[in-house]
Amino acid sequence: MNLGKKVIYQAYPRSFKDTSGNGIGDLEGIRQKADYFKKLGVDMVWINPFFVSPQNDNGYDIADYYHVDPLFGTDEELDKLIETFDEKGLGLMFDMVLNHTSTSHEWFQKALDGDEYYQDFYYIRDGKDGSYPNNWTSKFGGPAWNKFGDTDKYYLCLYDKTQADLNWHNKNVRKEVYKIVNYWIDKGIKGFRFDVLNVIGKSKDLKDSSGNIDEEKKLYTDTRIVHEWIEELNKNTFGKDEDIITVGEMSSTDVHNSALYSNPEGSELSMVFSFHHLKVDYKDGEKWTDASFDFKKLKGTLNYWQGEMQEHSGWNALFFNNHDQTRANTRFGDVDKYHYQTSTMLAQTIHLMRGTPFIYQGEEIGMTDPDYDSIGDYRDVESLNAYDALLAKGMSEDDALKIIKLKSRDNSRTPMQWNDSSNAGFSEETPWIRVNDNYKEINVKKALADKNSIFYYYKKLIEHRKEENLISDGLYFPILEDDENILAFVREYEGNVLVNFSNFTGKSLEVDLENMVDSYQEYEYLLGNYGRVEINKKINLRPYECLALIKRF
399-426 confidence digits (pLDDT tens): 999 999 999 999 999 999 999 999 999 9
Average the pLDDT over 225-231 and give the result. Answer: 97
135: nearest Cα among 213, 76, 228: 213
Average the pLDDT over 378-394 and give the result. Answer: 93
Mean pLDDT computed over every residue of the chain: 96
Q: Beta 44-47 vs 91-96: how paired, if at all?
A: parallel
Phi, then psi, of 310 in degrees rounded to 5: -65, -45
Q: Cα(549)–Cα(551) distance, rounded to whole angstroms?
A: 7
Position with higher pLDDT, 29 vs 518: 29
Of 178-187, 380-389, 502-511, least confident by mean pLDDT is 380-389
**DSSP code, position 362:** T
- List % helix, strand, coil for the chain (3-state, nearest 5): 35, 20, 45
Active site residues: 195, 249
Banded model confidence at residue 518, pLDDT cuts 50, 70, 90 = confident
266: nearest Cα among 236, 241, 230, 238: 230
What share of the chain in percent tops pLDDT 90? 93
What Rg, from alpha-carbon coordinates, does the chain have?
Answer: 23
Q: Cα(446)–Cα(456) distance, rounded to whole angstroms?
A: 12
Contact partners, residue 205, CB within 8 Å, separation at least 6: none
Position with higher pLDDT, 129 vs 146: 146
Q: Provide the pLDDT for residue 515.
A: 84
41-74 confidence digits (pLDDT tens): 999 999 999 999 999 988 999 999 999 999 999 9
Average the pLDDT over 111-135 and give the result. Answer: 96
Over the range 157-174, which residues count as b (16 or more CB within 10 Å of their CB) and which as e? bbbbbbbbbbbbbeeebb
Burial of 528: CB neighbours in 10 Å, binned 0-12, 13-18, 19+: buried
Q: List, in sequence order, every beta strand (DSSP E) within 351-415.
A: 356-360
Q: Cα(436)–Cα(419) distance, rounded to whole angstroms?
A: 12
- Check whether 381 has a pLDDT greater than 90: no
Banded model confidence at residue 129, pLDDT cuts 50, 70, 90 = confident
Q: Provide the pLDDT for residue 13.
A: 97
Average the pLDDT over 179-207 and give the result. Answer: 96
Distances (CA, A) of 79 to 74, 120, 496: 9, 34, 45
Banded model confidence at residue 33, pLDDT cuts 50, 70, 90 = very high
Contact partners, residue 359, CB within 8 Å, separation at least 6: 7, 8, 9, 10, 40, 42, 321, 458
Phi, then psi, of 23 in degrees rounded to 5: 80, 5
Q: Cα(133)–Cα(126) distance, rounded to whole angstroms?
A: 6
3-state SS, one letter per residue, for 77-136: HHHHHHHHHHHHCCEEEEEECCCEEECCCHHHHHHHCCCHHHHCCECEEECECCECCCCC
Banded model confidence at residue 4, pLDDT cuts 50, 70, 90 = very high
Q: Provide the pLDDT for residue 382.
A: 87
- Check whether 516 has a pLDDT greater than 90: no
DSSP bridge pairs for 486? 503
Q: Provide the pLDDT for residue 204.
A: 86
Region for 199 from its dihedrals, namely left if φ exceeds 0, alpha if ψ lies in -120 to 50, beta otherwise: alpha
Of 222-231, 380-389, 437-446, least confident by mean pLDDT is 380-389
Q: What is the dihedral of CA 357, 354, 250, 218, to 10 degrees?
A: -160
- Check whether 447 has a pLDDT greater than 90: yes
DSSP bridge pairs for 392? none
Contact partners, residue 511, CB within 8 Å, separation at least 6: 480, 486, 488, 501, 538, 539, 541
Would you give the end-to-end CA distance of the chain in angstroms? Answer: 25
Q: Provide the pLDDT for residue 517.
A: 84
Q: Are 76 and 174 in contact (CB under 8 A)?
A: no
Q: Are 180 and 166 in contact (CB under 8 A)?
A: no
Tally of CA atoms within 13 A in the half-sphere of 56 that contains its CB: 16
Distances (CA, A) of 128 to 133, 135, 154, 163, 197: 5, 10, 10, 22, 28
Q: Provide the pLDDT for residue 214.
A: 87
Contact partners, residue 405, CB within 8 Å, separation at least 6: 369, 371, 372, 411
Of 472-486, 498-512, 513-527, least confident by mean pLDDT is 513-527
